[in-house]
Structures are given as C-alpha cells and as structure tokens.
Structure 1
Amino acid sequence: MSSTRIRPALVVLGTAALLTTSVAVPQASGAGRTSTAPTALTWYDATAETIAAAGASAQVTNSRTWAVSWLAAARATRTVPAGVQRGAYQDAALAAAVHRALVKLAPSRTEQLDAKFKETLDAIPDGAAEDRGVAAGERQADLVVASREGDGLDPASVNAPYPVPPAAPGVWQPTPPAHAPATQYGNRLAKPFLLKSQSQFRLGPPPALDSRRYAADLAEVRTYGAADSTARTAHQTETATFWLGSSLTLYTEPLRVALTRTNQGIAGQARLVALFHVALVDTQIATSDSKYAYERWRPVTAIRTGTIDPDQDWTPLHTTPAHPDYPSGHNTYSGAAEAVLSALVGPRTAPFDLTSPTAPGVTRTYTTWKQLSNENVDARVFSGIHTRSADKAGITLGTDVARYVLRNAGPLLAAR
C-alpha cells in the first residue's frame, strides 16, 4: 500500500504522561526493512545478535538487557544541545549508549560490538556533534546500568528455590515428564523499573474448582490439548507449535517491524524499544507474583489427579513448563506487547510476515498486533499447557502493566 493512514496514537511527551495525538503512519509493505533512521535499526539488530549469541538462560534477564540498553539510548537522544547537528548527535548518542551498555552486560561480545560501533562512527562526520553524542550516550549507559545493579534479575535470583507446597486439589505440583523444580519464582522478588510493587497488578483468583468456568476450561484443554487429540485441527496444532518458543524471540521481529514504521525519528525509535522492554520486564515480574500467589496447578495435574473424570494417562501436546498455570506468561507478554505497540505505532499496520524457530517452514502474515495475542491465547490451550482462563487473565495483566508503564514513563526517560 502506498497511501498514508491517519489514526490516533499515544506519544510520550516531556516528563508528563502519555498524551493522545494524531500522527501519519506510512503503510509499508513486507517486513519493513528500511527506515529514515538506519542507526536505530543497526543497533537493534546488534542487540538482537548479542542476545542470541551471549544471552542469559532466563528470558527476563535478556529483556532487562534490552531495556537497560535502549533506555540509555532513549535518554541520550531525547534532547539535542544547541549548536550541534541534530542527526549526527543523535546517531552518535544512540550508538554509544547501546554499545556501552551491551559491552557491560555481555562482555563476551565486546569485539563484535566495538567493530559495529566503529562502523557507525565512521559514517558520522567528525566534530562536536559526534563527540558530544558519544559522551551523552556513554554517560546515560553508565547511569542506567548502575541503577539496575542488584535488581534481582540475574538468572540465579530469577530461579530462586521454591518450596513445593503439599499436594492438594488445585495446588501446583512438579509436572511430567521431568517433574522439574519450579522456575521463575524469584521474579516476584525482583526490582521493577516502574511498578510501585511487584504485586501492584496482582490478578483476582482463578476460577473456583467447583465452578462452571473451571469445568469448561478443563474440558477444553482435555479435548484440544491432548497429544493424541482427534478434535484439534492441523491448523490448530500448527498454531500451538508456532507460538511454543520464547516470547522474547517471537516478538523480536514484530517490534523491529514497528521500529521501521514509526515516524517519530531516532529518538522515537529509541523510546519505542525502551518502553517495550521496560514494560515487558515489569510484566514478567508481575506475572510471577500472580503465579506464585495462587499456585494454581497445571492442566496435566488437574486432569490426571482431579475429581472431574480423572485420566492418569492424559498427556499434553507439548511439555508443560515448570511453574504454575495462572496466569499464562506467554499471554502476559502478548498483552503488554500489544498495548505498547498499539499505543506507540497504532493497532494496525501493513501486512508483515513472521516465522518461528519452533515451526520451521511456516510463515504467517499479520496486520494487527492483536492477532498475535489472539493466537497466543489459543496456542497455549492447544498445547495442553494452560487453561483459557489463565490465558485471558494473562492478556489482562500484561495490558494493565503496559498501560501503567506508558502513563508513568516520563521521569524514567528523562536524561540524568
């Protein structure tokens, strides 16, 4: 499409909350591999490559690396000093901020990051704009990295030991086949970027075990999520497999597409990536808070040992992750991602293609961010690893956290 569509969007302005305005969004075709601010894309890809090559074992730790690096970039590019060339200053500031933060957080990639940084600086005219931009970027990186020291988002802290509660109806227990210890318990003890507390958006309780909602949830998972299900269609199985992997990995390309389609310039691009990952870190903290507050058992445990037509041989399509059911972490991630992208880029976009490492050879096409959320809700049911109530609650939680982050981001984005 070559036309330009006008639609409302939310843009972070000053140190106040997000305000509603009207902006023009170019409707590019394909995956959007061009931009008026190529430096942002260069360092977006460098960040993704760094995470892929030297990332941590915990998803939230990698989200933290994204958030720290790009928050520094957003601060450094937000204001341009008088008397220097704006584009050169912002290019240098963004590159310096992301480079400096990534070298500190992923030192094994220093050689590759240094080479990329040199390439960026070689393309910027020498002079005051470049020098002052580099200084600003490095200063903000140092400040943000220092502010997050000891935040409890390292893998060891994230996966702090969790004492398994005594077995009882509805209570989480280690799941087959590995019966592995619970993971991500420590998330609920970590320091958020913006939430006032980890429990600020704690969900209400899951459906009662004697409720119609619970019975319907369990019947749906039993029917459509079984490994040997005859009700699940080939397309539904594909959906489950497509969205099986890490949400961070699966949303890296949609965020990149959005990055190419914002018309807010390099400062807006840095802000988009920063707020996306700040929201996602806080969402993952809030997710674990609700998960371990309610300790709801997984469908495989409920179906095998519960009172509703127990079946000791029932097996889900995909292996159940080692943490409680409610809410679904994939869907808290989706809800937050959808909220941020819809606010800062708009809810609709030109078609873009997406592939998945867990579904080789499959390509899906999307025109709204909500489509990604809808598929995630279905996918976890079809995988047999979440109830629909846990999925929908996840969307709600992620949306609530992201909207709070967007409303209160002004002071966080201000340069120090």
Structure 2
Amino acid sequence: MDRSLTTLSRRRLVVAAAGTTLAATLGSTKAIAAPATVDTVLEWYDVTAGAIATGTRPQVASSRAWAIAWLAAARAAGTGPGGAYRDAALASAVHESLSALLPDSASALDAALATTLARLPAGPARDHGVAAGLAEARALLASRAGDGLETAAAVNAPFPTPAPDPGIWQPTPPAFTPAQQAGNRLARPFLLSRADQYRPGPPPALGSARYLADLAEVRDYGGAASTLRTQAQADTATFWLGSSLVLYTGVLRAAVAQSPRGTAWRARLVALFHVALVDTQIATSDAKYAYLRWRPVTAIRATEDPAWTPFHTTPAHPDYPSGHNTYSGAAEQVLTALIGPRSRAPFTIDSPSQPGATRTYTSWKPLSDENVDARVWSGIHTRAADEVGIRLGKAVAAHAIRNAGRLLHRS
C-alpha cells in the first residue's frame, strides 16, 4: 500500500479517536473542573525529547530529527489563524516528522497526538492545522532525504587511519576505536554553502609556546592521577562529559518555557537551534578531519609519559576543534541572538554523566566557559581546541540566524 495512504488512514483514526474522546467529555452530565491550560509547544517539546531518547543513534542524527520536526512545525504554525489551527499544525507536523524518522516511537507519538487533538475544538481551524502540519512535514522529509545523516553508517563512514607521525591523530586507548563521525563532513548542511565555509585556521604548531603550554595543562590537570585537579574541577569535567544534545535539551526547554512569545515564534526558536547545531556538527567534522590533530593522550604518551592516562576516556576522533565546544558555542549564539544574553529567570539542568548533580544558571555564556574548562580537566582536549570550538560554533550559528528566512517558508 502507498505509504501516504497508510499514514493518512492512521491520521484519520487518530483524529476520529480524538473527536470521540472530546465528544464523550462534552457529553458528560457530571460537573467537572475547567481543564488547566496546556502549552502545546512545551507539550510537544517533551514528546520530542522522549522520542529522541528512545533508541540509539548518533548525536547528529538526533539533532537532525529535532531540526526537521520543528522546522516543519514552525512553517505550518506560521501560517493561518492562531489558536486551534496553530496547535493542531504544530502537533501534526512534529508527529508526522518523528513518526517517519523514529518509527519505534510511533505508538507513543500517536497517543500524544490524540491527546492534543482531543483538547482542541473540532472544526475547520483544527482540520486545516492538521493538513498544514502534514504537508510541511512531508515536504521537509522529502527535501532532506539522502542528506548523509540518515544512518549511523553514513555518519561513521570509514576513515583510514593515518600513518603514525608527530601531531597526527591515531586511535586512542583503551579501545583504540577507528575514527568516528568522519561522515558528517560529507553530509548536506541545512544552511551552510559547504562544510568548510567557516573552517578555522590550523592548530598551534608543534613545539610552539601555546602548544607546549596547552599540553602541559592537560598533563597536569587532566590526568587520571592528577594531584592538581580540585574536586570542583573534577565535578565540572564529569558534569559536562555527557552528550551535548542531552545536556542542552534542558537549557533550550527553559528558554522556550520562559518565552512570552507565541506558538510560531517558539517553534522557530527550537527549529533554528537544531538547524544551527546540525550545521555546526558538519563543520566540526570538516575541521577535525582536515587537521587530524592528535589527542593529548597520544601526544603525552609519545613525548613525555608512556603510562599517562586521561581522567575520562578520549572519544574516537581528532582533537581540533572540540565538538563539545562547537556545540556549546552554537547554542550560546542562537540563544543570545533570539532571547538575549540572559535567561528571563534562573534555570536548572542535570547531567546524565553525573547522576544526582544539578547546576543553576541565569545566562548562557557560563555554560560555554564550563565546557572549555571541562574538556581540559577531563584530559581529552587542549584548551586551543576548546576555544576555537566555541568560535566555530558561534560563527556557524550566526550564519544560520542570518539566513533563517531561507528555511522558514517552503520554496
């Protein structure tokens, strides 16, 4: 059977079920309290986060799913009347996108859509919103097909290990895994013209004062047996060790929750955040595999201490620039450009790599500052790689904000 007909049939069942639920509620003779107002943007933000958390996929593939779903939502909710139309458009766009991209979450997504539609008054506004959401999601899914980020195999395309040479990346202990994420540099960006559009200059030359100072800092503060690293520094390294996407999901949610803006604007915030992050991860891979700078553990073992071990295990890709910091820099840039340098109220996030720990912030820059330090104190990046990462992420995100209009309406 044609997929569009299958999807349409399922959508009609969901809408029918929602209508039945709504009719049953309205037909009850029992006195019931007026339902609390539900923020549909936050409702579907949480639905998206839950669906993304299900299964295992590369971080950039998850960022892509967020970007597609919420760009479709922003397009659909940005047209037509407000109220039921926009809520139905947003929910239907995110539902359709994620159902296609994350089929294992289809049943949970169907249930969430039924809940949203049951809350909205039946009629042309709701129906037109559903139709707009479907149309934008399907168009965007079609336009992003074959972009090189759809599978783990594409993201982790084989990359031959270079011949050993001073300064050149080699697989790192303990697993000595082949290079990862090399395929990102070959993927099609959302808004960049090409992966190397903002490629930074080369890392500090081997033997330069900056190179030697950076390596000494990692050796002294980032070693597993370091006696200089304080407990506070160790905590910062551990807190920010986890997936950047997971860590920043709470940050972006706080920005969305605190914003007084309407449905369409907040959908655009979520969409542009993740569009910028997909393009940033593509640009990061380009720079990493252009420069192939060895990791501190390789450098220190080769030149100073063959037994040196980092505080945290080194990821399987080159040092320069730091991917955690390109992510943080891009996130900071988007939030600063669209919200301002500070949040409207303090927000608190937790960390998958430090269970039970929380941190509270009132602005976006401290998160970037902590990421820079964290990767040094983990022993897995030089400070130069971290600082350049922040700058690269900001440059790519600024480009995304400047060119956002190219994506916000279907061409």
Question: So what's the TM-score if we normalise by structure 2?
Answer: 0.90
Q: 2:208 aligns with which of 187, 208, 211?
A: 211
User: Comparing 109-118 with 384-393, which one deviates more in the overlay?
Assistant: 109-118
Q: Match of 1:323?
A: 317
Displacement after TM superposition at 1:37 (Å): 6.9
Give the secondary-structure state (helix, strand or coil) at the position aligned to 2:85. helix
Letter in 1 for 2:285: S
CA contact (8 A) 1:261 1:345 kept: no
What is the CA–CA distance in structure 2 between the aligned matches of 1:168 and 1:36, rounded to whole Å? 62
Give the secondary-structure state (helix, strand or coil) at the position aligned to 2:112. helix
Displacement after TM superposition at 1:86 (Å): 1.5
Displacement after TM superposition at 1:331 (Å): 0.1
Of Structure 1 and Structure 2, the greater helix share is in 2
* Residues 398/36 of structure 1: CA separation in 2 closer, same or farther (3 Å cut): farther
Q: Match of 1:246?
A: 243
Q: Match of 1:225?
A: 222
Displacement after TM superposition at 1:209 (Å): 0.5
Q: Match of 1:146?
A: 142
CA RMSD of aligned residues (A): 1.1
What is the CA–CA distance in structure 2 between the aligned matches of 1:235 and 1:353, rounded to whole Å? 18
Instruction: Determine whether 1:202 maps to 2:203.
Output: no
Letter in 1 for 2:184: N
Q: 1:406 aligns with which of 385, 394, 401?
A: 401
Displacement after TM superposition at 1:353 (Å): 1.2
Q: Match of 1:71?
A: 71
What is the CA–CA distance in structure 2 between the aligned matches of 1:264 and 1:402, rounded to whole Å? 21
Q: Match of 1:11?
A: none
What is the CA–CA distance in structure 2 between the aligned matches of 1:58 and 1:215, rounded to whole Å? 33
Give the secondary-structure state (helix, strand or coil) at the position aligned to 1:364. strand
Structure 1 residue ranges, 4+ long, deviating more than 6 angstroms after superposition: none
Of Structure 1 and Structure 2, the greater strand share is in 1
CA contact (8 A) 1:37 1:266 kept: no
Displacement after TM superposition at 1:57 (Å): 2.2
CA contact (8 A) 1:187 1:288 kept: yes
Q: Match of 2:377?
A: 382
Q: Match of 2:291?
A: 294
Q: Match of 2:6?
A: none
Matches within 5 A, 1:18-167: 38-54=39-55, 56-80=56-80, 85-153=81-149, 154-167=151-164
CA-to-partner distance for each residue in 1:136-195, whole Å, 9 max, x for gaps? 000000001111111000211010000011100100000011111010000000000000
CA contact (8 A) 1:76 1:415 kept: no
Displacement after TM superposition at 1:351 (Å): 1.2
Displacement after TM superposition at 1:78 (Å): 1.0
CA-to-partner distance for each residue in 1:27-46, whole Å, 9 max, x for gaps? xxxxxxxx987101110000
Give the secondary-structure state (helix, strand or coil) at the position aligned to 2:166. coil
Letter in 2 for 1:326: Y
Unpaired segments ≥5 residues, structure 1: 1-34
Give the secondary-structure state (helix, strand or coil) at the position aligned to 1:257. helix
CA contact (8 A) 1:195 1:282 kept: yes
Instruction: Determine whether 1:311 maps to 2:305.
Output: yes
CA-to-partner distance for each residue in 1:376-397, whole Å, 9 max, x for gaps? 0000000000000000000000
Q: Match of 2:364?
A: 369
Q: Match of 2:176?
A: 179
What is the CA–CA distance in structure 2 between the aligned matches of 1:158 and 1:361, rounded to whole Å? 32
What is the CA–CA distance in structure 1 between the aligned matches of 2:402 and 2:193, rounded to whole Å? 13
CA contact (8 A) 1:262 1:268 kept: no
What is the CA–CA distance in structure 2 between the aligned matches of 1:36 and 1:176, rounded to whole Å? 53
CA contact (8 A) 1:36 1:265 kept: no
Displacement after TM superposition at 1:281 (Å): 0.2
Q: Match of 2:33?
A: none
Instruction: Report the identity percentage.
Output: 64
CA radius of gyration, larger in: 2
Question: So what's the TM-score if we normalise by structure 1?
Answer: 0.89
Greater RCO (Cα-Cα under 8 Å, separation 6 or more): 1
What is the CA–CA distance in structure 2 between the aligned matches of 1:413 and 1:86, rounded to whole Å? 17
